Each structure stands twice: as C-alpha cells, then as structure tokens.
C-alpha cells in the first residue's frame, strides 16, 4: 500500500533521524517533512514504533495509507517533479 508519512518535529536531530528512517525504507521525499512510498502493513507499523520512540509529545507524525487508484487521481500544483512519484515507482507485486 502507498503510505504518506508527514511530520512536524521540533528537534532538528530527531527530525533528521525520522527522515533517515523513511529513506532507509525506500520512501521518497516529496517535501521537507513529507515522504511517500510503498510499505507493507507490518513495515508501516515497524516505522510507526521506531518513530514513536524518537519523538516527544510536542511532535506530530501522520501515517496515511492511500490506495493506488486514489493516488492515480492526484492533482498537483506548483513546482514539483512528478517523476519522483510516478506510478512505476509504486507497483505492488502480490
């Protein structure tokens, strides 16, 4: 499933660690505090736990699942290279 990980984290070191965890799992950065990519439910839960151990009560992290069809219907405005999140990057083999 496609997952969005979107966060507002106050501490720079923690924010960097969260970004690194996302990158390590193959998520693509789409904005400074926003990642997207394919994760299994188990991997998403593992990331949820890891990030939960890093952040404090002032921080906020969203893990948002999105189906492939809904993602295909996306609309984007502004300066964004859509090739970074093309459908070919998110093919799910079952």
**Residue 9: CB atoms within 10 Å:** 21
| Domains of the chain and CATH, by start | 2-90 (3.30.70.240)
pTM: 0.81
| Residue 87 or residue 64, greater confidence | 64
Instruction: Tell me the per-residue pLDDT of 30-58, one tens digit each, with 9 for 90 and over.
Output: 999 999 999 999 999 999 999 999 999 99
Instruction: Tell me the per-residue pLDDT of 12-27, one tens digit each, with 9 for 90 and over.
Output: 999 999 999 999 999 9
Q: What are phi and psi of 5, to 5 degrees?
A: -120, 115
Instruction: Tell me the per-residue pLDDT of 2-11, one tens digit each, with 9 for 90 and over.
Output: 999 999 999 9
């Amino acid at each position: 499933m496609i997952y969005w990980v979107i966060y507002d984290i106050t501490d720079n070191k923690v924010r960097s660690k969260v970004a690194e965890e996302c990158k390590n799992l193959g998520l693509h950065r789409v904005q400074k505090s926003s990642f997207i990519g394919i994760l299994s439910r188990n991997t998403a839960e593992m990331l949820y736990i890891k990030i939960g151990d890093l952040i404090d009560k002032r921080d906020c992290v969203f893990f948002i699942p999105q189906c492939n069809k809904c993602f295909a219907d996306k609309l984007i405005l502004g300066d964004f290279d859509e090739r970074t999140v093309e459908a070919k990057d998110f093919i799910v083999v079952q």
